[in-house]
Structure 1
Amino acid sequence: MHPSGRRAALAVLPLCFGVLAAAPARADDTPSPCDALKRIVAAAPNFSSLSAFDGRPVALPYGDDAKCAASQSNYRCTWTPHGGSSADALQSVAADIASCLPDATHDQNSPARQHFYLGARGARTGITAAQAGPNTLKLEIDGSQ
């Protein structure tokens, strides 16, 4: 390559990188399952400050029809998993719980039910993900264990 050609190529590089750096970043506006799980668990033992929408991000990666409800002592969501097996979706939800809440103890692992808890005996928050029918999953977070 001719020296002046090399200088021209090197002069163009910053312009190329400048164009790439100036390109607008795209934000993923999908709600985070981790943020939702942490918000719900933080509300324990009284979940009445939460809304039906607080739990939907936990289900969104696996189903679009989540129905959630908060009461004073628990928070519950049910949904139909997208295509595929509800057992596979249950395992994925359990993996989300384990990775999002690393201090949680995973004390039951079966194909139909996953159970975790946080806190000391008498002041525990229980987290149960389970099959609630042939094509339905349920997440329940209970603050009175």
Structure 2
Amino acid sequence: MDETGRRAVFAALLPLCFGMLSTTCARADDTPNPCDALKRVLSAAPNFSSLSAFDGRAIALPYGDDAKCAASQTNYRCTWTPRGGSSADSLQGVAADIASCVPDATHDQNSPARQHFYLGARGARTEITAAQAGSNKLTLEIYGSR
């Protein structure tokens, strides 16, 4: 195919690529967003049973590839192995994500082994705990009492 033919094919396919909503064309913004995942999980409180294991997985993806999440009626929990660096560094990163994604949350515990946030008044709170789980795991648990 000559250069003119290649240009014609490219010109014909380009609008299809950008116009389609399917995943046939990769885009830079296709990466799962931790904030969107966190907000989706928080919006389900206090009953998390409508969520799937994948709804909150993106919260952990910046910090580990093996996140295993589960939803129950009373909580949403993810556990993963931190990628590179220390568990404490990953835990601080998760806490920073929570603080920036949910600015209304109160951050009432900040230690190298545990981060705790809450939303709402006593008796109607949604709580977020990120903590070290053993020497090489992190866990994130969101639970509510609304």
Q: Which residue does 2:79 correspond to in 1?
A: 78
RMSD: 1.6
Q: Which residue does 1:47 correspond to in 2?
A: 48
Superposed CA deviations along residues 112-144 of structure 1, whole A, max 9, x for unmatched, are 000000011100000000000111000000112
Query: Which has more radius of gyration?
Result: 1
Once residues 136 and 104 of structure 1 are traced to their aligned partners in structure 2, the CA distance between those partners, rounded to angstroms, is 24
Superposed CA deviations along residues 43-74 of structure 1, whole A, max 9, x for unmatched, are 00000000000111000000000000000010
Superposed CA deviations along residues 62-103 of structure 1, whole A, max 9, x for unmatched, are 000000000001000000010110000000000000000000
Q: Which residue does 1:115 correspond to in 2?
A: 116
TM-score by length of 2: 0.81
**What percentage of residue pairs aligned between the two structures are identical?**
85
Once residues 95 and 117 of structure 1 are traced to their aligned partners in structure 2, the CA distance between those partners, rounded to angstroms, is 14
Once residues 29 and 40 of structure 2 are traced to their aligned partners in structure 1, the CA distance between those partners, rounded to angstroms, is 20
Once residues 37 and 96 of structure 1 are traced to their aligned partners in structure 2, the CA distance between those partners, rounded to angstroms, is 9
TM-score by length of 1: 0.81
Give the SS at the match of 1:28.
helix
Q: Which residue does 1:57 correspond to in 2?
A: 58
Once residues 78 and 144 of structure 1 are traced to their aligned partners in structure 2, the CA distance between those partners, rounded to angstroms, is 22
Is 1:103 paired with 2:87?
no
Once residues 32 and 88 of structure 2 are traced to their aligned partners in structure 1, the CA distance between those partners, rounded to angstroms, is 23
Q: Which residue does 2:129 correspond to in 1?
A: 128
- The count of aligned residue pairs is 123
Once residues 126 and 93 of structure 2 are traced to their aligned partners in structure 1, the CA distance between those partners, rounded to angstroms, is 20
What are structure 1's unaligned runs of at least 5 residues?
A: 1-23
- Cα gap change, 1:52 to 1:26, in 2 (>3 Å): closer
Q: Which residue does 1:93 correspond to in 2?
A: 94
